[in-house]
Structure 1
Amino acid sequence: MSQCKPMKQLIVIIFLVQVSIFKLSAQEQQKIAFGPYIQQMSMEDAAVTWSTLEGEVIVTDGNGKNDTIRDYKQHKVYMANLEPNTTYSYDVLNDGTDEGKGTLTTYPEKSVPFNFVAIGDTRSRNNVHKKIIEQVQKVNPRFIVNSGDLVANGLSMKDWESFFEINEDFMRNTPYYPVLGNHEKDSPYYYDFFDLPNNERYYYFTVGDALFVVLDSEGLRTTIPAFTSDEMKDAYWHESGIDYMKTQKKWLEEVLKLNRQAGFIFIFQHLPLYSVKKSRVAESKMVREFWGDIFKRHGVQAFINGHDHHYHHAKDNGVHFITSAGAGAPLYDIDAVQPETVSYKKIEHFMNIEVNEKDAVLHVIDIDGNEFDTIKVKRRKTK
């Protein structure tokens, strides 16, 4: 008589996640959480936006560990019929406190000297990000452009809370222009917090006779499915958003033609066209081939990007290609200097850019306030 083999027991462990939603009192909801800060600045118009805490979600895992995720409500006020190159005070609360107060200065209608700041990859090291912003405030820029990866994870509200805590005093008086990076993850939070021109993904604005164009190098990319082979990943990544990128390229051609009388043109995007990080050289070449000679043909003076966490200056066909990504993310080694490379340094930094009557001077400044590189570009010859 044969014995029956014992059946193996299948043990299934189910982790229950409990979600609790708490509504705040009216008094708690009125308190400003982020801001106020300035968006949509122009010669005659501006927007002031701020966030209030709407509620909290408590997420409890199977081990009883709690995590609090806050929900915020956005508020925006648009101001019209302002005078060019004029400073205004505002108060979104008008309650006798300084909590809702700030100042804004409209852009000039004529070509007058001004300065702005370019930074990149503020991301994860909040202590570095904070020190960089402290140095930025000393040069009192007209506005700031962040070339992407503002936070470590665009889907994490806690990362955005840290970002706004660091920039609170600065942003209430200075317009802030962001660029979509890969770490933004195309998050709805990005579009909630920032009120940007055009379609918000890529856009442009002008100050005096200087043109500023922000591009989206990430595109409408989706998460690569797990079943995709390693051989197919590059093709999937490229082809998933190629139509979107072609539409953006056509838009850029039209913008550059329309603004052909601009004295200065600055282009911003997250991905570099020239990388000195060996593992990213091939990717940067693909990006460069996609854009082709568009920057040269239209007389762009400076192309500023992030993504590679260091400083790198390359020059090709009269265009300065500058990687400025040392404002918070861990720094990268430089291991693939290119023929177009002019200078480079593994260092935390930002750029203070002075736009003058005949030229623009790009001052590259380290975290301690010391200038370690300087780039000069001449005003474009326009018809």
Structure 2
Amino acid sequence: MLFLSKGPYLQRPTEDSMTMMWETSDLASSSVEILLAERIHSGHQGNYKKPEVVIASVSNEERSTIHQLTVTGLEPGTMYFYTIHSANAKGEVQSGPYPFKTAVRRGEPFSFTVTGETGGYSSFDPSDGLTNINIFKQMQRYRPDLTLFVGDIVDNGDNYEDWEKYFFGPGADFLTTTPFYSCLGNHENNASWYYEFFDFSPPKNYYSFDYGDVHFICLDSTDFIKSEDYPLSAGEMSPGNEQYDFLIHDLQSTSAKWKIVFFHYPPFVSGGYQVEDLRQLCPLFEQYGVDLVFNSHTIVYERSHPLRAGKVDFQGGITYIVAGGAGAMPEWLLPKREWHTSQSLAVPHFLQVIVTVDHLELRAIDEEGRLFDKFTLRKDSDGSKSYF
């Protein structure tokens, strides 16, 4: 009997395409159908008719267990539905239809969510996984256009079962309709499953992408700070290092209004597991106008003041946010806050970020749906910033 092991889930949203991935229990063919989403003006069913009209399809007769199909020729910022199908001599499996939305154009508002530590918190979680489930459910309530995971989404990346237990299982409903990106945490162990399950741009441990007015850059801090040297670097953050050179070239090449960087180890947190050597990257972030940096690793929430050149700077500083969201370790916080800390709290949480042309609003929400921190960043046409 053939059955779905994981997914389906969404990857690589662009203005005219979306990638669907899933895993089957045995080698099988794969196909995706895209159905027209037609609005209705009365009744229920989420204001959409039951999708019936197939407008595109992609198939692959080559058999595999991890399936990846990209549908192109779609319209920007548009709702569609998709159905996946796999078959072999043992049977067939079909799942869907599920809604999805293509990326918006530049100049159009959108929202995304951020969390981390769905697996990194596992050995401390007294709820036996309920924290993960609650966080995914709360994020789904806010209907984001995409989501960032800031590492440690599994407990042991080399353990195949962990990917279902801590990530794909608890997040199944959410990931079916919400495309996502992730960075490597120390718990992923740079395992091969990370590279097989996700369709990020090569080399996959670091990459960048655009969505609306935001340019996102994912870095691999576990490569800058090797496990045998942690928490110190061994001189990797300098010209000649492939990832460092990528970062410089990528920042130089983008013309996006907003620049957001995310990686696992936090350069600023008033708690345990601060990795100060990563502050070597801060001058680059400052030089090229990065607006926000997301990290996790320390299983708390923390938002810095806007920082520049090692000082608080409300004119042109960068806000660093630790989103160790799917857990809470209050004992990891220092007895008092550091100079760079604006707000900090150890509760299970996620972040909702709303992006408009000249405002970026961030809200920190706990696993019960309660707002406990927020701030807004405004950027004028000349690049000047204001925070409130």
The TM-score range, normalised by the shorter chain, is: 0.7 to 0.9
- 1:257 paired residue number: 252
Unaligned runs of 5+ in 2: 28-63, 309-316, 384-388
Is 1:145 aligned to residue 135 of structure 2?
A: no
C-alpha distance in structure 1 between counterparts of 2:303 and 2:328, whole Å:
19
Change (3 A) 1:265 1:292: closer
Q: Which residue, 84, 94, 116 being the options, matches 1:92?
A: 84
1:235-288 CA distances to partner (integer Å, 9 max, x unpaired)?
Answer: 9x63396689932122111111111x31111111101111212x434xx22111
1:27-48 CA distances to partner (integer Å, 9 max, x unpaired)?
Answer: 33xx211011111111112110
- Check whether the contact 1:145–1:177 (CA below 8 A) recurs between aligned residues: yes
Q: How many equivalent pairs are there? A: 325
Report deviation, 1:85: 1.1
- Check whether the contact 1:121–1:329 (CA below 8 A) recurs between aligned residues: no
C-alpha distance in structure 1 between counterparts of 2:241 and 2:270, whole Å:
26
Report deviation, 1:347: 1.1
Q: Does the residue aligned with 1:363 lie in a helix, a strand or coil?
A: strand
1:155-177 CA distances to partner (integer Å, 9 max, x unpaired)?
Answer: 11221111211111111111011
- 2:324 paired residue number: 325
Is 1:300 aligned to residue 300 of structure 2?
A: no
- 1:160 paired residue number: 163
Change (3 A) 1:136 1:332: farther
Give the residue type in structure 2 aligned to 1:78.
T
- Check whether the contact 1:326–1:348 (CA below 8 A) recurs between aligned residues: yes
Report deviation, 1:357: 2.5
- 2:115 paired residue number: 119
C-alpha distance in structure 1 between counterparts of 2:240 and 2:343, whole Å:
30
Give the residue type in structure 2 aligned to 1:215.
L
Calculate the TM-score normalised by the size of structure 1.
0.79
C-alpha distance in structure 1 between counterparts of 2:181 and 2:293, whole Å:
16
Unaligned runs of 5+ in 1: 1-26, 56-71, 225-232
Which is worse superposed, 195-204 or 144-153?
195-204
- 2:263 paired residue number: 269
- 2:132 paired residue number: 129
Change (3 A) 1:220 1:209: closer
Report deviation, 1:110: 2.8
- Check whether the contact 2:84–2:94 (CA below 8 A) recurs between aligned residues: no
Is 1:178 aligned to residue 168 of structure 2?
A: no
Is 1:309 aligned to residue 281 of structure 2?
A: no
Calculate the TM-score normalised by the size of structure 2.
0.78
- Check whether the contact 1:40–1:195 (CA below 8 A) recurs between aligned residues: yes
Change (3 A) 1:337 1:134: same
Within 5 A, what are the aligned runs for 1:3-14?
Answer: none
- 2:75 paired residue number: 83
Give the residue type in structure 2 aligned to 1:285.
E
Is 1:280 aligned to residue 280 of structure 2?
A: no
Compute the RMSD of aligned alpha carbons.
2.5
Q: Does the residue aligned with 1:76 lie in a helix, a strand or coil?
A: strand
Q: Does the residue aligned with 1:192 lie in a helix, a strand or coil?
A: helix
1:46-94 CA distances to partner (integer Å, 9 max, x unpaired)?
Answer: 1101001139xxxxxxxxxxxxxxxx92011111121111112111128
Residue identity (%): 27
Is 1:248 aligned to residue 243 of structure 2?
A: yes
- Check whether the contact 1:191–1:200 (CA below 8 A) recurs between aligned residues: yes
- 1:196 paired residue number: 200
- 1:65 paired residue number: none
- 1:214 paired residue number: 218
Specify which structure has the higher proportion of helix.
Answer: 1
- 1:366 paired residue number: 366
C-alpha distance in structure 2 between counterparts of 1:101 and 1:360, whole Å:
33
Report deviation, 1:214: 0.9
Is 1:109 aligned to residue 105 of structure 2?
A: yes
Report deviation, 1:99: 2.5
Give the residue type in structure 1 aligned to 2:203.
N
1:168-227 CA distances to partner (integer Å, 9 max, x unpaired)?
Answer: 111111101111000000010111111112321111111112111111100187764xxx
| Rg (Cα) greater in structure | 1
Q: Does the residue aligned with 1:166 lie in a helix, a strand or coil?
A: coil
